A and B are shown apart, each in its own frame.
Chain A
């Protein structure tokens, strides 16, 4: 009997301790977000980035992380987020969604809820982590848009920093019209972004009265794109719209040269992020015949302009923290903290819901001192930047210094 009582006592004690543990875990979650509460002294930002990822993802992640740190430094210099000092913690997710989920859960359990989570792409990581962030009511800003990451009904506390494929398409339409191309062909990769790009650009160009004579997709793991280009060449478009990233950029340019197809090539922002384009031979193709017909879509911030003081300050801050291995196309995270700081001022609070509501206010967009994109236009219906065509420029390849094309 005595033994049984001891057992019951042990179970009760164990249960009590477990519940206490859960309670303390909960409060640690909230104390972890103490930065986010009115009494906390810091505003905690967790940045997910595939530092150990394969391929160009690693350079992109490193740039993205440096950008987040620089954004935090800039905001701290100007008084922080409603007086709270921004503190950045980086978690290496390897660019893999499974790792990102594990590391995020680990960070939430260990350090409690951060006030803001930023990712460094790709979109597969965003797709995997956004449900967890939603479940924990954490404000997030995302540079790897997914099908519904910008949709406030699906993710009310998430804001995409990267323009959508539809935004990029606006830039293409303006450029194609300016150049007077009447017919175009489209070639894009089989990645999620490539497929969306293909659909959106075809829709936008067709809607603008431009005839799309053909759309070809290639496998991003393929080593030769000659068949797809040959198919488009047969349809004789005035210009070729191209999406590619990494080594496929080189395969496409080689195939174009092999086919001796002398056609203007209008490439998307992914091409602009590939190092091959901005390196002269023997390392790359800059200055060769392969890129003589090529222009690439980019943001104004990615082109060096000493007169643009806001971007210059951002670049200087980033460069002082660490090297900038990719182009500024991957530096959206710099803008996250200025946006949050402006939203906090408007809301007079730093809790996630209040900030999300304020981020939909045009007055906040106007006030936010962003650099990578001149203005974000989040609305209650769409948490995508909704930038207009003026946010984009089309540039010929050139060398890159500190993430900027030295045009």
Chain B
């Protein structure tokens, strides 16, 4: 069971990155390759607030939300908005990710930094397995965020406007939706969310300048498995990737961990080319 908890916690971290990818995809039909780096910045801000400045958790949470919101907003203005083609955005956001890697290293240095969890750091036993409290928190948080965002999308005007925008941007504009403002808001929201998540992800992964690169690819695999634009899909995708990686590393050897994840991805995409939670729509010509 220790292995299962570990796999689920790892999957939750990947899923949290994937949620950010999906929100941007829904609102802008493109990918923010710097999403994992935003979360990485969140872990560093959490470290600064909790360790360097010794601030209360609530204040640190606000600080992280504000700081990464700002970083994401600047990224949107500099790397997304001036670019017209969605394909080019992939390049500019990739550039932003590299910039964030470098800047975090310049500010916080190259060594991994311990981010204390505001709950307990002691190992606990749960259903026959050993697990850190932060790992349970990550799993629960992922479920809560997925449920909240799914409800937001279906039951609020904002969510419906976002979905409408994702479906047909021009039609949404004709219905009075301010698509530019909404896209900017969604993008900046992913930054704020990444900042908050830094307080939970940091205690699991440390704050380290290579974290973004470690998370980015697996987050993308989670999106591909769950389906591009599907928030519930990220939960299932995260569980699959986390568990497959952990089980393969344990029983097949670590050299098969990544191979197994990509093998599962290939099998799923062969059966469901748009991912598990997105239906392929035939276009009438």
Picked from B112, B209, B254, the residue with its CB within 8 Å of the CB of A219 is: B254
What's the minimum C-beta distance from A272 to chain B, rounded to whole angstroms?
Answer: 13
Q: Chain B residues with Cβ under 8 A from A282's Cβ? A: 50-51, 114, 116
8 Å CB interface, A184-198 against B = 190
Q: Chain A residues with Cβ under 8 A from B210's Cβ? A: 54-55, 221, 246-247
Q: Chain B residues with Cβ under 8 A from A222's Cβ? A: 214, 245, 249, 254, 257
What's the minimum C-beta distance from B7 to chain A, rounded to whole angstroms?
Answer: 8
- Structural contact, A246 and B6, CB atoms closer than 8 A: no
- Mark interface residues in B233-250 (1 if CB within 8 Å of A CB, else 0): 000000000000111011
Which stretch of B72-80, B164-172, B200-208 is in the interface?
Answer: B200-208
* Residue B105 interfacial (CB < 8 Å): yes
What residue of chain A has the Cβ atom nearest to residue B130's Cβ?
A: A258
| Bound CA span A284–B47, Å | 12
What's the minimum C-beta distance from A22 to chain B, rounded to whole angstroms?
Answer: 39
| Bound CA span A218–B131, Å | 20
Knowing A230-B3, A246-B112, the reply to whether A223 touches B10 (Cβ < 8 A) is yes
- Structural contact, B111 and A275, CB atoms closer than 8 A: yes
What's the minimum C-beta distance from B64 to chain A, rounded to whole angstroms?
Answer: 16
8 Å CB interface, B245-268 against A = 245-247, 249-250, 253-255, 257-258
- Structural contact, A58 and B123, CB atoms closer than 8 A: no
Q: How many residues of B contact A (CB 8 A)?
A: 42
- Structural contact, A223 and B205, CB atoms closer than 8 A: yes
Q: Chain A residues with Cβ under 8 A from B9's Cβ? A: 224
Q: Is the interface of B mostly helix, strand, loop or mixed?
A: helix
What's the minimum C-beta distance from A221 to chain B, rounded to whole angstroms?
Answer: 5
* Residue A227 interfacial (CB < 8 Å): yes
Q: Chain A residues with Cβ under 8 A from B86's Cβ? A: none
What residue of chain A has the Cβ atom nearest to residue B113's Cβ?
A: A283
Picked from A216, A258, A284, the residue with its CB within 8 Å of the CB of B254 is: A216
Q: Chain B residues with Cβ under 8 A from A250's Cβ? A: 112, 114, 206
Knowing A59-B110, A227-B249, the reply to whether A221 touches B257 (Cβ < 8 A) is no
* Residue A228 interfacial (CB < 8 Å): yes
Q: Chain B residues with Cβ under 8 A from A284's Cβ? A: 114
Size category of the A interface is 35 or more
Knowing A260-B123, A283-B114, the reply to whether A254 touches B257 (Cβ < 8 A) is no
What's the minimum C-beta distance from B229 to chain A, rounded to whole angstroms?
Answer: 26
* Residue B278 interfacial (CB < 8 Å): no
| Bound CA span A230–B254, Å | 12
Q: Chain A residues with Cβ under 8 A from B245's Cβ? A: 222
What's the minimum C-beta distance from A59 to chain B, rounded to whole angstroms?
Answer: 6
8 Å CB interface, A44-70 against B = 53-59
Q: Chain A residues with Cβ under 8 A from B130's Cβ? A: 258-260
- Structural contact, A224 and B246, CB atoms closer than 8 A: yes
Q: Chain B residues with Cβ under 8 A from A276's Cβ? A: 111-112, 114, 206
Q: Chain B residues with Cβ under 8 A from A56's Cβ? A: 110-111
- Mark interface residues in A226-248 (1 if CB within 8 Å of B CB, else 0): 11101100000000000000110
Q: Chain A residues with Cβ under 8 A from B246's Cβ? A: 224, 226-227
- Structural contact, B208 and A55, CB atoms closer than 8 A: yes
- Structural contact, B116 and A58, CB atoms closer than 8 A: no
* Residue A257 interfacial (CB < 8 Å): yes
- Structural contact, A226 and B3, CB atoms closer than 8 A: yes
Q: Chain A residues with Cβ under 8 A from B206's Cβ? A: 247, 250-251, 276
| Bound CA span A258–B1, Å | 12
- Structural contact, A54 and B101, CB atoms closer than 8 A: yes
- Structural contact, B123 and A247, CB atoms closer than 8 A: no
- Mark interface residues in B192-216 (1 if CB within 8 Å of A CB, else 0): 0000000000001110111101110
Q: Chain B residues with Cβ under 8 A from A230's Cβ? A: 2-3, 250
Closest 6 pairs between A and B when the two form their complex, measured CB to CB: A227-B250, A227-B249, A275-B111, A247-B112, A226-B6, A282-B51
Q: A227-B250, A228-B249 are in contact. List 8 more A-B contacts (CB 8 A).
A: A54-B105, A221-B213, A247-B211, A250-B114, A259-B130, A260-B130, A283-B114, A284-B114
Cross-chain pairs A/B with CB under 8 angstroms, 11 sampled: A59-B110, A190-B254, A224-B6, A224-B10, A227-B6, A247-B208, A247-B211, A249-B112, A257-B123, A258-B131, A282-B51
